[in-house]
Amino acid sequence: MRRARLIALSVVVFGIAVVVPAASGSGSETKAKPVVKTVHIGDDFYAPGKLTIKRGSQIKWIWDKTNFDSHNVTLIKGPRGVSARKFTSATGSTGIHFEREFLTPGTYHFECTIHLSMNMTVIVKG
């Protein structure tokens, strides 16, 4: 009798385990992949120099293979609270990739600290 109860209990537990994943697979909890925008870094320019993205998007900066000069990506000014967490990419001429996700809406200003005339603006929409 005890063995029959254990088998019955196992069947009930197993049934719940099978039903729950099927019910939760509706896709409502699935996160959408973030949108990734690419910015190319050439000798003395970012392309594009101005970019508007949605909150949660990422930017991937790629240093062009034709560069002779070293460059970086430095956050100079951002929305309130973000500016305190400034960041800088690696510095180099080729073969560098740098990614950042943008969660706070507002305007971000970037420059290459080696070439101060090399600027970029990113606008993040809520």
CATH number, domain at 121?
A: 2.60.40.420
Contacts of 58 (CB under 8 A, 6+ apart): 34, 35, 36, 37, 99, 100, 101, 102
Phi, psi of 84 (to 5 degrees): -70, -20
Q: Which of 108, 101, 106, 90 is nearest to 41 (CA)?
A: 90
Residue 29 tokens, joined? 């909890």
Low-confidence ranges of the chain (pLDDT < 70): 1-30, 84
- The reported pLDDT for the residue numbered 28 is 52
- The reported pLDDT for the residue numbered 11 is 36
Whole-model pTM: value is 0.73
Quick one: 62 and 97 in the same domain?
yes
Count of the separate structural domains present in the chain? 2
Quick one: 62 and 116 in the same domain?
yes
Contacts of 48 (CB under 8 A, 6+ apart): 39, 120
The length of the chain in residues reads 126
Decide: helix, strand or coil at residue 32: coil
Quick one: 44 and 93 in the same domain?
yes
Angle subtended at Cα 120 by Cα 111 and Cα 110, rounded to the nearest 5 degrees = 40
Quick one: 48 and 8 in the same domain?
no
Mean pLDDT of the chain: 82
